[in-house]
Structure 1
Amino acid sequence: MSAPSTESGSNTRSLRQSLGHSAEYAIALALLLVGVVVGAVVWFSNQAERVGVVTEIAMASDDAETEAATRAKAEEDAALAELRRELRDSLSNVEARGRMQAELAAQEQAAAEERARQLAELERRQREAEALRLQLESEQERIERLERERKVASRQSTGPAPSPAAPETDTPPVAPAAPQGGSAVKVALSPPRQPVVTKPEVLWDSCSRPTYPRNSIRAEEEGVTVISLDIDASGRVTSGSIRESSGHRRLDDETLSALSQCRFKPAATDGVPTATTGVFRFAWNLR
């Protein structure tokens, strides 16, 4: 009877020890799970508290560079317009010169014909004058012969014979040359005026502002991104590039992508919309 009792007691003790170890394992596992849950809650709460803020920074150097680009573009457009005007004027001058040369050729031809006509008329008058001179000389000789005959016939004649009138010849008057001359035209030049230049402005109602990428918040990425945008006279972005990197590609790409979708109030020179290159600066900060 004593041997079975001893064996039963040892089994009971073993069972109690096993149950004690199992309870310890369960408690340790429960404590581990509680620790994991608390750590996850704390981590997520910390992540939820970090807020990314994107701020546009206006710097005088960027404004000056944008104004300089706008002024240069306006001067380039003005130079192109002036070149087109000069080409049109040159073409008009060539056409006018051609018409003038044609008119001069016609006038020279008409003048040559008139000179030929006048020369022919002068030659005709010279021939007529020569014929008249010969006729007068013949008439004078006839009168002198008659006078000698009359003197011989009437020796008692007392009055001197009238002398024949000298023939008159008409010489064409020489027309005086018309004076030619010109007066110099003086043009008063006013000093050049500096044009009034306004920089382009983002129309935020046409697009969304840059948003902080979630991966950048988790990686605690911060910095300042500077971009250059080519904006045409209608306010549309034609091209863009990263001018100065924030040191993080995600932040740079988000800045350039967001601003490239925007419409702008275009730059203007003396109130006239002008294409230009704008410089924009955005700061990425975590709070």
Structure 2
Amino acid sequence: MTMPLAWLAGGVDALGWTLVHFLWQGALVGVLTAVALAALRGARPQLRYAVACAGLLACVLWPAVTLALRLRIGGMAEGAVPAAQFTGLPHAAALGSHMEWIVAAWATCCIMLLARTALGMAWIAHATRTEGRDAHWQRQLDRLAQAMGVARQVRLRVVRHLASPVTAGCWRPVVLVPASLLSGMPPELLHALLAHELAHIRRHDYLVNLLQNLAESLLFYHPAVWWLSRRIRFERELIADDLAAAHAGGPRRLAHALSELEKRQFAHHEPALAADGGDLMKRITRLLRHESRPASASLSASRRDTATTLTAMLAAVLPALALAGAMAAGHAQAEGDAVVKPDQAGKIVFEGCAKPVWPAASLAAKESGTVTLAFLIGTDGSVDDARVRKSSGHPSLDQAALEGIGKCRFVPAHKDGAPVKAWMMMQYVWMPE
């Protein structure tokens, strides 16, 4: 074997063992980060965001250092040193014989994931060049950017077939806004959504997100990497919510805007808002809870036990209903129901869907929670059957949600142009105004 081939073989061996060892390294980093985040569950999202970012950075640096050390050890030897000699793992020799295949499979998946990211960036660049403009909302965005301390010029583009606003770009940022929002959403709510996107631009979140995509592409095979990345995105959304609330008319208006956006996506079967940004209802509840606190509350109050915070939030007595969750048309079939998988899913008619009544006993007991329902839409648009898939923890609230869904009307699902029965799913979220 010539020296270049020996060096290449040693490099493949070192990379393969680095990938193998990251299985336990990533698990250790994930556990330690999870413990730290659990201890900081009452802290500000900025601190949890920093901890999650540190965890993901450790997931990248540890295998990088491991690979560098293995390559150095291999380069110091006469030719390539078999990595099995210093793995410290049982059955290392047997595993080492498959390193070429392990590295080849890893490289193939990395290329596919990086190509996906590149295609997404190319689509954004194409939309920025070709999609429409709106002079009125561009002026509104410019004024809002100035008020929020964003010095860079932020472009606005109106895009069809987009589920929710998207921010992209570091040096020349752009906000892509669904055309349906400009024509259908109240101006003050759209203003709140734009403030949230400008908060991401102010914090340079797009650059951090690109680095996350790179880490996900290189270390795609480890669940801890994906969990940390999701946690980073969730905490990032909370930070952006806090920054935007001050320029969006307060936390309640931003919460209303998020709820309205989710309702529109629900009606049009589009992906849930911020799919990579965590639970939307947690964000809405947090905004409402934040507004309910006195302005003079100290930082230590934000770190109290969750039960204490919920008790204060439940002091309000008037109920509010928020619709959330993605629709899963045709995928919640129950035993014994002859339901045809539809070509076109059903749609809710929000104008004819009255809010369910909060039971008096539940209101007096300050009960709150989220119930997930599965319900069968008949060919006439009525609800033929409804069942609780996940309880709120309070039977009376579950029953009230079942009664409420029975009062709603739907456009039935269709198969080959004819109406058919189909199952759907929905969440009722009981929370105070």
TM-score (norm 1): 0.36
Q: Which has the higher contact order (CA 8 A, sep 6+)?
A: 1
**Quick check: which has more Rg, 1 or 2?**
1
**TM-score of the superposed pair, with normalisation by structure 2:** 0.24
